[in-house]
Structure formats: structure tokens, C-alpha cells
Amino acid sequence: MRVTGTATDEFEEQRARLFGIAYRMLGSATDAEDVLQDAWLRWQGVDRAQVAAPAAFLARTVTNLCLTALTSARARREVYVGPWLPEPVLTTRGVPTDLDPSEDVLQRESVGFALLALLERLSPPERAAYVLREAFAYSAGEVAALIGTSEANARQLHSRARGRVAGERSREVDPTHWRELVARFLTAARDGDLAGLEALLTADVVARADGGGVINAARRPVEGRVNVARYVAGVVARFSEGLVPAFVEVNGVPAVAFTDRSNLHGVLVVQVESARLTALDLVVNPEKLAYAQRQLSRIGGLPGLSG
């Protein structure tokens, strides 16, 4: 007979991995929390003496709950107002998170903001195969068992998914260099310095804003140096009064959080290449900020993080 700890002990031992799977599959920390709650309820209802491998059982449960959730999520995103961006998770040192802090480099890359957005292109089974293989190093046979398919199909799903997101790997970022560029960018935006903004942007820069129809934001991506500079200057003029920017880490990369010193109003993820900004992703939908807001509330806000 298998000797085990309590149901709670076994679940908590796997919680970080389970949350990591769910968040990567859904792109939403709030939805990932809901999936873990459902998985916990199911775990309480099983005869654990009949479960030979709790880790595999729980991973399969979470994976299948995510596959079901993705089907309805895709329908919701078809009518989503404006660009859909992932839900940011603060990974700044000292900020509590359900993501496993011991994850290796490849795992951290798989939670990158840009990659999570690209994963939206995949079918639910493709996304599951990609996340399980790339982020958690499950074998093709293990993936097949987790999602209920053949090993050959699991390999095909993974291969197809890799092809569709090929080339999107997190670039190494020098945090000091990143901060210097973004600080100059924020200053130019605040001052309405269009020439200064344009000098910091690549010719093919893209700006996306996720307001979800709750907060007024551009409903289509803004493209090109001149257009993005004008757009950013206008956004700052309209919405930044009373907000304080702070440098944080989001999904393993540098980012900017905008607060009124107690409440989170926006998260800006900026991609940098050499000495210019290549992409700006701004999340202002309050529903998308709820998880990060709870993270900050647990440490009493942003003081000490703004550096």
C-alpha cells in the first residue's frame, strides 16, 4: 500500500507546477487560480489509495480542465474588445507569486509575455503539447497520457505548435540598459517630445493596449515610429496624471507598473533591441490587473520596488 501524506500536503507539493501549467495554457492567472480550485475539489473526492502517482494525476486533471477552459475562452476572445494580452504576473524579487521561483531559464522563457500572446494562435491541444514539452520537459509519451491522445499525435501537436511560434525566444536584456532606455522614453512621453520618442523607436515598432472595453484604449495595434510616438504622447497626456511609474519585473522580464501608490492602474511591457524599443504592450483592463494587484496588496504596495 502506498504511504502518502495528507491530501493537502500532496496537492501543495505540486501547486507551483500546477499553477505554472495552467497559467501558460490559459494566459490568465485568475483563470489558473480557478482551475487549481477545481482540481483541488476533484482531488479531495478521489480514493487516493488508488492513485499510484499523485503528481501525474494532478497534472492530468489540471491539463484537462485547461483544455475545457480554453474552448470557452477562445469563444470569449473572439468578441473581446481590442487586442487581447496575457494577464501580467509580477515576478519581482520579494513579491509573492504562485509561479515557481526555482524554474530554470527555459521555463522562465516559456512564461514570457510575447510568447504567451503568440500561444493564442494555437489550438487547445497544440498549446497543451507545447507547454508540457517546452516548459516542463514531459516526454511525448507523458504528454499523450496527460491530454488523452496517442504518442504519435502528441509529437505531431508539439511539432506543429513549435513551427507556429518559431523564432519567439526571450532576448537577453541588460536591466540597466533597459531602464535607461525606458526612463528616457517615459520622460519624452511625459514632455510630449515627439522627436525624442521617435528617436527611441524602431521603424516597425508596434504598440498594443488591452483595455477590454472597460478602459478606453486603442482597439487596434498602432504600428510605425511616427504613429506610435503620437499615440504614446496622447495616452500619457490623457491618462498619466496622478500615476507614478515604477520599475518591476513581469513574467520574468523588466516592465513598468503605474500606480497611484496604492492601486495598480496599468502594466507596460517593453521589448528592446539594441538601443530602441520594438514593442509596447500596455495592460489597463482592471480585470487583467486583479492578480498583480493582489500580489502588491500582500506586500503593502510598491515602495522599495521602484528603484
pLDDT of residue 3: 40
Q: What is the pLDDT of residues 26-52, one digit of tens each?
A: 999 999 999 999 999 999 999 888 898
| Contact assessment for residue 271 and residue 284, using Cβ atoms and an 8 Å cutoff | no
Residue 289 has pLDDT above 90, yes or no: yes
Q: Is 6 exposed, middle or buried (0-12, 13-18, 19+ CB in 10 A)?
A: exposed
Find, among 9, 10, 8, the residue nearest to 51 by Cα.
10
Domain ranges of the chain: 7-164, 175-297
| pTM to 2 decimal places | 0.89
Find, among 38, 6, 4, the residue nearest to 19 by Cα.
38
pLDDT of residue 73: 82
CATH of 7-164, one of 1.10.1760, 1.10.3470, 1.10.260, 1.20.140: 1.20.140
Strand partners, 250: 90, 253
Q: What is the pLDDT of residues 183-239, one digit of tens each?
A: 999 999 999 999 999 999 999 999 999 999 999 889 999 999 999 999 999 998 888
| Contact assessment for residue 122 and residue 130, using Cβ atoms and an 8 Å cutoff | yes
* Residue range 244-264: mean pLDDT, rounded: 90
Higher pLDDT, 56 or 302: 56
6 falls in which pLDDT band (50, 70, 90)? confident
Strand partners, 259: 244, 264
pLDDT of residue 300: 74
pLDDT of residue 170: 56
Q: What is the pLDDT of residues 64-100, one digit of tens each?
A: 999 999 988 877 888 889 999 999 999 888 788 888 7
The class that CATH gives domain 175-297 is: alpha beta
| Contact assessment for residue 61 and residue 42, using Cβ atoms and an 8 Å cutoff | yes
For residue 144, count other CB atoms closer than 10 A to its CB: 20
* Residue range 177-185: mean pLDDT, rounded: 94
Average pLDDT, the chain: 89
pLDDT of residue 5: 66
| Contact assessment for residue 225 and residue 205, using Cβ atoms and an 8 Å cutoff | yes
Q: What is the pLDDT of residues 122-174, one digit of tens each?
A: 999 999 999 999 999 999 999 999 999 999 999 999 999 999 987 655 566 78
Query: At a CB cut-off of 8 Å and minimum separation 6, what does 70 contact?
Result: 25, 26, 124, 127
Residue 303 has pLDDT above 90, yes or no: no
Helix (H) or strand (E) holding 202: strand 201-210
CA 127 to chain centre: 14
* Residue range 276-301: mean pLDDT, rounded: 92
